Structure 1
């Protein structure tokens, strides 16, 4: 086991902790680590014992709390990371994802309003070079859509009150592919207050090694299991009604308009060297209300 259980005094007073499970993700980690560094958030990375250069990257990240040791999968890694969290709030950022510039500073300001338990937003699909493929705009919270429509709450653009997350038991380690949907359903059952903000919070890298791409049959099995456990009946008309509600909510908040507008700068870089003018321009176009903050960070 290689570990760095203490990574500097900056994490001792963190308001927000970002949890990152990792395994053989050395090619993605630089962007992931850079997107949290310098934002005031604590970053806890639990690596599953990688042999691909992940450990040297973590050793060089002086402000990161991390361990590298075998684990029982992503949910186990997240629960281990949660045990090291100091923050009042927790973000979930997989190793192949990254936050957009200015987002974590804005999120911490928003969460201090203390009128919500789960905050989520929009996200951008990117290619292996961090270039925009498409914007995925979201909509206001609907338990009905979550249960019968789709798991639309994106883990990479969601922040959870740590006390409530611990209250519901963290992540279920017997779920391999849809632990996010299971967690949102349990938080909803616990009475969590969900809030949506139309901010593009993160980049989600599309690549063949993703869990959902490799275990499609297991995903279907686990979906059936979740529906049974949470008593979700799924006649066709209920499913269609939930999809219609989702479409209606996105129309009302101009989600489809924003997605269409983003197509005009598809291919723009969303991650790169600090101060990169192309990255700054793309991020400001996605989040014009955070443009000043993005420029300040650059």
Structure 2
């Protein structure tokens, strides 16, 4: 039966996620996919992580617990060992949705994709989650902001030369890798199902280091703009980065307004948002800015 289904290699980079990693592992092995390669790269966890991992040693193809130089380094170590035709990775606090590995394999058998993505749930629990349904954008916009969730992305093992992940990046190494896939193979295939759950909690990297994440994303976007020989593409990427900057400012100002109780200060924040909206070159085609203005007006009249 293993020969019928393509081998899928899943890497779990792990560090001190004892509260969640068992759920992550079970979401993979309970699918009972017959040709699975499970690789766990731990960075010397000091909580209950290692004890939990040992419970599933007979289901894990490769495991190491040693000091590393960050998540990108852990991923590169893991995928160096990967021998599957299809690859993916799952952070040690996220989970796959039932049967996703089977469905990805079916798609690969029908059409040997270079990369593919699904919709993803995100939240603090599956019961209290929201759909992440953003579709793939133009290459220029994708350089500025990642419009698909990493947990739902799968790719062919021989797609690009390894190592895949930039170890100088702390938070958006996946985004840069996906940009490289897009640049070399175009838009990914889209599978219209929910493939994974992206957990947001107080200790998750996305929650704690949002500003650094956006700064890194802006940096790699500008790098691709400078590398482009196409003047239109270069300018379009820079324009999309400007759009991202304005979105971040709008979001931060609204968050400050939401936390404020004094009406006079709320009005001040509202005027700041209005100025951002007026100066934005995107308001005619992007409802994001108008949506925040509408929400801020509601705050003023509450």
TM-score, normalised via structure 2 length: 0.70
What is the CA distance between 1:246 and its match in structure 2?
A: 11
Residue in structure 2 matched with residue 92 of structure 1 by the alignment: 89
What is the CA distance between 1:74 and its match in structure 2?
A: 0.6
What is the CA distance between 1:98 and its match in structure 2?
A: 0.6
User: How many corresponding residue pairs?
Assistant: 234
Separation in structure 2 between the aligned mates of residue 228 and residue 138 of structure 1, nearest angstrom:
22
Separation in structure 2 between the aligned mates of residue 120 and residue 241 of structure 1, nearest angstrom:
27
Residue in structure 1 matched with residue 128 of structure 2 by the alignment: 132
**Aligned alpha-carbon RMSD (Å):** 2.7
Residue in structure 1 matched with residue 103 of structure 2 by the alignment: 106
CA contact (8 A) 2:97 2:196 kept: yes
What is the CA distance between 1:245 and its match in structure 2?
A: 8.3
**1:206/1:238 CA distance change after superposition, 3 Å:** closer
TM-score, normalised via structure 1 length: 0.71
Residue 164 of structure 1: SS of its match in structure 2?
coil
Matches within 5 A, 1:262-277: none
Residue in structure 1 matched with residue 10 of structure 2 by the alignment: 18
Residue in structure 2 matched with residue 147 of structure 1 by the alignment: 143
Residue in structure 1 matched with residue 165 of structure 2 by the alignment: 171
Larger radius of gyration: 2
1:217 aligns with 2:211: yes
Separation in structure 2 between the aligned mates of residue 220 and residue 138 of structure 1, nearest angstrom:
18
Task: Select the residue among 9, 29, 35 that pairs with 2:21.
Answer: 29
CA contact (8 A) 1:14 1:86 kept: no
CA contact (8 A) 1:90 1:161 kept: yes
What is the CA distance between 1:185 and its match in structure 2?
A: 1.2
Separation in structure 2 between the aligned mates of residue 163 and residue 221 of structure 1, nearest angstrom:
30
**1:217/1:138 CA distance change after superposition, 3 Å:** closer
Task: Select the residue among 143, 147, 151 that pairs with 1:156.
Answer: 151
- Which structure dedicates a bigger proportion of its chain to helix? 2
Residue 198 of structure 1: SS of its match in structure 2?
strand
What is the CA distance between 1:45 and its match in structure 2?
A: 0.9
CA contact (8 A) 2:139 2:183 kept: no
Uncovered stretches (5+) of structure 2, i.e. residues with no partner: 226-236, 245-280, 289-302
Residue in structure 2 matched with residue 53 of structure 1 by the alignment: 48
Uncovered stretches (5+) of structure 1, i.e. residues with no partner: 1-9, 248-298
What is the CA distance between 1:144 and its match in structure 2?
A: 3.5
Separation in structure 2 between the aligned mates of residue 208 and residue 193 of structure 1, nearest angstrom:
33
Residue 83 of structure 2: SS of its match in structure 1?
coil
Separation in structure 1 between the aligned mates of residue 70 and residue 121 of structure 2, nearest angstrom:
25
